[in-house]
Amino acid sequence: MIFKICYEFLLIGMICFGGGYSILPLLQSTFIKKGWISSSEFIDMIAISQMTPGPIGANLATFVGFRLEGIAGAFLGTICLIIPGIILAIGMIYFYDKLNELDLIHKVFYGLRPVATGLILAAAINIMIITLFRRSDVFSFIKKIPTIDYSSLLLFLFCLVLLRKKVNYIYLLIISGTVGYFL
Amino acid sequence: MNYSFFDKIKLLFRIFLVFFKIGSTTLGGGYVMFPIMQLEVVEKKKWLSNKELIDFYAMGQSLPGLIGPNTAFFSGYRINGVFGGIIAAFGIVLPSIIIISLIAFFMIEFNNYPAVQKVFYGIKAGVLAMVFNAVFNMWKNAVVDWLTLFICIVSAILILFTDISPFFIIFAGTIPGFFMRKNNDI
């Protein structure tokens, strides 16, 4: 199991472009689809990772690792996640002068950015189905269109407006948690 | 500069402490981390120039993985070679490992309280809003023409409805740029 965690996190570390939230779809398709962690638990993890100090990706990786294999999983998961980036960074320093680096990066990122956006969009849709419709995934959603959880929907729209008005994440989660308690 | 072995260890330890501090004081991830790095590494310690840090941040963003540790690696490398880099990247994630492990350890029992469940019922809606907000923010830079719109929608559909690994989708995403004519507002 511990090797499996290392392997999966090394893979994720290799393909996780765009920082922070781009790790969400990758963790989802690696750990949640296989049923190792429940979707609902995963959303709690995102909330806590956002509220605690440190890079969100590192927080989430620690969470998933700890949940699967305790402190060793937490440690190895996070370390393995950052190893590929560091190895490539060493390569980047050595080849910095030889590569016409900027042009190459522009080309690669032209397609990579929309892919990363699409993957996070998919993660957002997954979370929406769980939060607003109380279904576990897209397929169970399509089979039988469920009723909407209107109080969650309203709270979601309210939070979205707050975010567009540049309200800090921490306050947002405190507000939504307080509202949730009184619902 | 000619450091003795002892001085080198001392410097590595100081690098570790500074990046540990950065990791334990930034709330909200990568984008909040930059100004704090600026304060600690450029203004207080004067290890790097502001321009260097901006370059490192851009380089860190272009690599896979997490922006914080990647930027920390480049900074640490500049201060004291590969070891400096590794120590810096490790320092910046160690607070996460400690804090989250503690929370995860207590959460298992904590989660059984109905009050906690109610709070998290509300927080889930907040998280949903945060993730959609992240999509909006990325969309502005990513979807610049019809082709990128197409790529974005197709990759979302593939990940939602098929079992294709995101590894292949992301790899495929690196290709279209090479068929574009030179830098039209990429």
d(Cα A115, Cα A174) in Å, to the nearest integer? 32
User: Does the residue A144 lie in any domain?
Assistant: no
Co-location of A129 and A153 in the same domain: no
Output the CA torsion A32→B31→B166→A163 (10° steps).
60
B132 and A CB contact within 8 Å: yes
At residue B52 the predicted structure's pLDDT band, cuts being 50, 70 and 90, is: confident
Report B:76-95 residues touching A (Cβ under 8 A).
Answer: 77, 82, 85-86, 89-90, 92-93, 95
Co-location of A28 and A51 in the same domain: yes
∠ at Cα A65 (B171, A159), nearest 5°?
75
Distances in Å between the Cα of B108 and the Cα atoms of A44, A64, A70, A126 are 12, 13, 12, 24
ipTM: 0.83
| Chain centroid, CA B51 distance in Å | 20
Report A:27-56 residues touching B (Cβ under 8 A).
Answer: 29, 33, 40, 43-44, 46-56
Most A CBs within 10 Å, among B27, B31, B131, to test the A interface: B131
Task: Give B146's contacts in chain A (Cβ within 8 Å).
Answer: none
What value does the mean pLDDT take over residues B90-99? 94
What value does the mean pLDDT take over residues B118-144? 88
Q: How do the pLDDT tens digits run along chain A, 183 residues long?
A: 889 999 999 999 998 887 778 899 999 888 988 888 888 889 889 988 888 888 889 999 999 999 999 999 999 999 999 999 999 999 888 776 565 556 777 788 888 889 989 998 998 998 898 888 877 667 777 777 777 888 899 999 999 999 888 888 778 888 999 999 987
What value does the mean pLDDT take over residues B137-153? 90
Q: How many domains does chain A have?
A: 2
Q: Looking at A139, A158, A175, which one is the last position of a domain?
A: A139
In angstroms, what separates the C-alpha of A5 from chain B's closest C-alpha? 15
CB contact under 8 A, A56 and B30: yes
Domain of A164, in residue numbers: 149-183
**B67: burial class by Cβ within 10 Å (0-12, 13-18, 19+)?**
buried
d(Cα B120, Cα B114) in Å, to the nearest integer? 10
d(Cα B124, Cα A31) in Å, to the nearest integer? 19
Question: So what's the pLDDT on residue B1?
Answer: 54
CB contact under 8 A, A54 and B125: no
Question: So what's the pLDDT on residue B181?
Answer: 57
At residue B186 the predicted structure's pLDDT band, cuts being 50, 70 and 90, is: very low
In angstroms, what separates the C-alpha of B3 from chain A's closest C-alpha? 23
Co-location of A82 and A115 in the same domain: yes
User: Does the residue A104 lie in any domain?
Assistant: yes
